[in-house]
Amino acid sequence: MRKHAFYLITSLIAILEFILFLWALGSGTPLPFVVGLFLGIAVIYLARLYVEEIIEDERVQKIRERTAFSTLQISWVALLAFSLWMIIEGSGGRLNPELRRLGIFGIGLLLVNAGMVIVFILLFFYYRKQYGE
């Protein structure tokens, strides 16, 4: 498969995902969208395996790795600050039930953030062992 055909397939999948998202939003059932999202990712991954041309070289891969890591670090800090703000706002002196739910949601976001850190640490040790450190 040529590189341009891969990009065309990826674009069509993105459009189909957006249409599926709008349908799920209108119908109120998120399961078809979630299944479609994972199927779309799998199809893009499989299509990339059949591309005969070089999509990215080592320089682009290194830039992508650094960009992804920086984005992850910034997201951790932003999510941590946002979830702590929600917890503080939800545990304030006011007894409004809406604000209490905001605090509970903040605790959930804090747990998601902790999960991201744990997955990062586990993958760090895995790849460090795999690459001989």
Kindly report, residue by residue over 31-69, the tens digit of the pLDDT.
Answer: 989 999 999 999 999 998 898 887 777 888 888 888 988
Q: Note whether 37 and 71 are same-domain residues.
A: no
Q: Which amino acid is at 73?
A: Q
Cβ proximity of 17 and 37 under 8 Å: yes
Neighbouring CB atoms inside 10 A of 97's CB total: 7
CA 47 vs. chain centroid, Å, equals 20
Q: Note whether 51 and 40 are same-domain residues.
A: yes
Residue 115 has pLDDT above 70, yes or no: yes
Q: Note whether 22 and 77 are same-domain residues.
A: no
Q: Note whether 31 and 71 are same-domain residues.
A: no
For CA atoms 58, 64, 70, 73, give the dihedral sign. negative
HSE of 36 in the Cβ direction (CA atoms, 13 Å)? Answer: 17
CA–CA dist 108, 83 (Å, integer): 8
pTM: 0.61
Q: What total of structural domains would you count in the chain?
A: 2
State the Cα angle at 101 between 99 and 102, rounded to 5°: 60
Q: Note whether 63 and 95 are same-domain residues.
A: yes
Range of the domain at 126: 57-133
